Amino acid sequence: MGCAVSTTGDKAAQARSKKIDRDLRADGERAAGEVKLLLLGAGESGKSTIAKQMKIIHELGYSKEECEQYRPVVYSNTIQSLMAIIRAMGQLGIDFAEPTMGSPLSPVIANYFMEKFEKNALDTAVRKPKCWFRYVDDTFVVWGHGLTELEDFLRHLNSINPKIQFTMEVEKDGRLPFFGCLARQFFTYASAAEEGELTPDLVMLMKRLWQDPGVQLCFSRSREYLLNDSAAYYLNSLDRISQKNYVPTQQDVLRTRVKTTGIVETDFSFKNLHFKMFDVGGQRSERKKWIHCFEGVTAIIFCVALSGYDLVLAEDEEMNRMVESMKLFDSICNSKWFVTTSIILFLNKKDLFEEKIARSPLTICFPEYDGPNTYQEASAYIRMKFENLNRRKDQKEIYTHFTCATDTSNIQFVFDSVTDVIIKNNLKDCGLL
């Protein structure tokens, strides 16, 4: 008969071993409870809106004081959107529908007289504007030369007919010199609004402009120039946002557009996990700042603007936005930095895409596409194009979701699914599953 003897030393060793096991498991559980998310994607793909949604969904949203801080941003976005449309009218050759006013001549005669004046003025000018268009008694021009040449051009205009004299004011960014009283008044009021006020006179003028059929026609052609996605949302809300005691709503805050520079961190807790979400600037100039965020990242949420398939980049008017997103996704998905990192693909702005696809064909971006221009077929094709960029299909799965970043219920539902995937993969990586 054998006999096993347990010494005090053996018991101590077993206790130490059990403690090490417990500590390792505790460390693993702590690691599994910490989630570092990197929000990546090209510019204007909706990353910042996703980050704002996390605050609304998981941190009780924006306080009244925080919402009030967004009032100047709402006003600035609204004004800049209308300015962008008016600029584009000149570029696209679209006239205002409102008849000429303020002249003692009849509109027909006044228009004929001004057409002759403009032809003479432009034919004899040493330097010519890139484009020229009239609204009521005011003339807008897009100028591509220096300020000295612009002043020479003004003197030239005033030398043609002593009864027609122009005054001039140059917009802050220097892109749109304009002439005339009404335009000067509009931009003067707009400048005051950017300080945080939307005056009654400016609101009245903006509503009048926004209702003009020519402005609406130009808005319908917004794929041909750069325009904030929320332009119609704010311009249709002028009565509400111009109220004296206006406080931006959560939805108003979500729709504000401020270009992200650098890295913005949002912390929140959900399903016993602590999340650190990093919103990274999407413009090309911002991408070099990503590198130090790579280490230890749990998952990447890559945002793509579905509605960008027929648009060009703000920083490169030769590059299609969807093509740029695909190039960036290819580099991220197949990077050595992210061999074991979960990749979550948000095909965002599905609402804008569904509205646009019926009138703007997918072949603008994908000439080889021969399917119908319906939401279901076209969105499935884009999903396939992105998922096929994954060169490690046997090792890495792409988790794709169609999203509308401004729809809180949609993002809440999608992020719940995303979190379940993260929990599963995190536990697996820590050896707990």
CB 389, CB 326: distance < 8 Å: yes
Residue (of 249, 229, 231) closest to 241 by Cα position: 249
Name the catalytic one among 49, 53, 139, 298.
49
- Non-local (6+) Cβ contacts of 24 within 8 A are none
Has 280 been labeled as part of a binding site? yes
Catalytic residue (choose from 134, 257, 321, 383): 257
Identify the active-site residue in 44, 138, 212, 324.
44
Is 348 marked within a binding site? Answer: yes
230 has binding-site annotation: yes
Residue 254 known to bind ligand = yes
Structure token digits, residue 176? 């749109």
Catalytic residue among 80, 251, 283, 408: 283
Residue 49 catalytic? Answer: yes
Helix (H, G, I), strand (E, B) or coil at 170: strand
Report the C-alpha gap between 35 and 202 in whole angstroms.
Answer: 47
Tell whether 260 is in a known binding site.
yes
Is 281 labeled as ligand-binding?
yes
Calculate Rg over the CA atoms of the chain.
29
Question: What is d(CA 169, CA 328) in angstroms, rounded to the nearest whole number?
Answer: 41
Residue 25 assigned ligand-binding role: no
Distance CA(55)–CA(131), nearest Å, equals 44
> Which residues contact residue 162 at a Cβ distance below 8 angstroms, ignoring those fewer than 6 apart?
none
19 assigned to a ligand binding site: no
170 known ligand binder = no
Q: Give how far Cα 395 sits from Cα of 23, 323, 338, 343, 398, Å.
A: 30, 25, 11, 12, 10
Q: Does 255 show up as a binding residue in the annotation?
A: yes
Residue 137 assigned to a binding site: no
Counting Cβ atoms within 10 Å, is residue 304 exposed (0-12), middle (13-18) or buried (19+)? buried
Question: What's 347's DSSP letter?
Answer: E
Of the listed 212, 279, 324, 354, which one is catalytic?
A: 279
Tell me: is residue 82 an annotated ligand-binding position. Answer: no
The first and second tokens of residue 233, run together, are 């949302």
Does 351 show up as a binding residue in the annotation? yes
- Does residue 216 have an active-site annotation? no
> Does 106 count as an annotated binding residue?
no
H or E segment and range at residue 131:
strand 131-135
Strand boundaries in 262-370, DSSP class E = 263-270, 273-280, 299-305, 342-348
Task: Examine the residue annotation and report whether 374 is marked as an active-site residue of this protein.
Answer: no
Contact (Cβ atoms closer than 8 angstroms) between residue 303 and residue 348: yes
Is 229 a known ligand-binding residue?
yes
C-alpha distances (whole Å) from 37 to each of 131, 248, 295, 342, 407 are 46, 28, 11, 10, 21
Is 48 annotated to bind a ligand? Reply is: yes
What residues form the annotated binding site for Mg(2+)? 48, 260
What residues form the annotated binding site for GTP? 44-49, 229-230, 254-260, 279-283, 348-351, 405
Which residues are identified as catalytic?
44, 49, 257, 279, 283
What residues form the annotated binding site? 44-49, 229-230, 254-260, 279-283, 348-351, 405
